[in-house]
Amino acid sequence: MNDSNIAHTSITPPSATGELLVILGHAPHGSSLLREGLDMALVAAAFGRRVSLLFMGQGCWALQPGQGEGALGQKGTQSTLEMLEMYDIDNIMVEAESLERLGLESSDLVLSVSVVDAASVQQAIASHTLVMNF
């Protein structure tokens, strides 16, 4: 077979070359969604994807110190959060309105975060090629 007759196309979809935004809006306990979102972010970063995290709503509770095991032996989030730096996940945003609603201060969180307003949240969503919501 002659190679010149074969059409060469990329098997990588265009979305695989952009950045990934993982939105974490569920509480750390009560479901596995937040942990699954963090795990997915780590896997994507391990495969070379640039990953940003956005904590919103009840997901902000995961950033409180001392997030150990939950009821029924649910894995805590603190150990996973400590691994983010090792995977070069350093763009970590928290929605300002959620912090205020929950009575949290960014200085009390276990990670250094960027506090963003609603307009910045919309800009972050629009500027990422892939957005996953957990």
What is the C-alpha to C-alpha distance for residues 63 and 3, in angstroms, rounded to an integer? 54
Domain hosting 28: range is 22-64+75-133
Q: How confident is the model at residue 28 (pLDDT cuts 50, 70, 90)?
A: confident
pLDDT, one tens digit per residue, over 52-104 is 999 999 999 999 887 656 554 556 678 889 889 999 999 999 999 999 999 99
In a domain, 89, yes or no: yes
Q: What's the total number of domains in the chain? A: 1
What CATH number is associated with residue 129? 3.40.1260.10
Contact status, residue 58 vs residue 29, Cβ threshold 8 Å:
no
In a domain, 12, yes or no: no
**27-30 contacts, C-beta under 8 A, 24 or more apart:** 27/58, 27/59, 27/61, 27/62, 28/59, 28/61, 28/62, 28/67, 28/70, 28/76, 28/77, 29/70, 29/71, 29/74, 30/70
For the chain, give the percent of residues with pLDDT over 70: 79
In a domain, 17, yes or no: no
pLDDT of residue 1: 46
In a domain, 124, yes or no: yes
pLDDT of residue 128: 92
This prediction's pTM? 0.80
pLDDT at 24 over 50: yes
Contact status, residue 23 vs residue 38, Cβ threshold 8 Å:
no
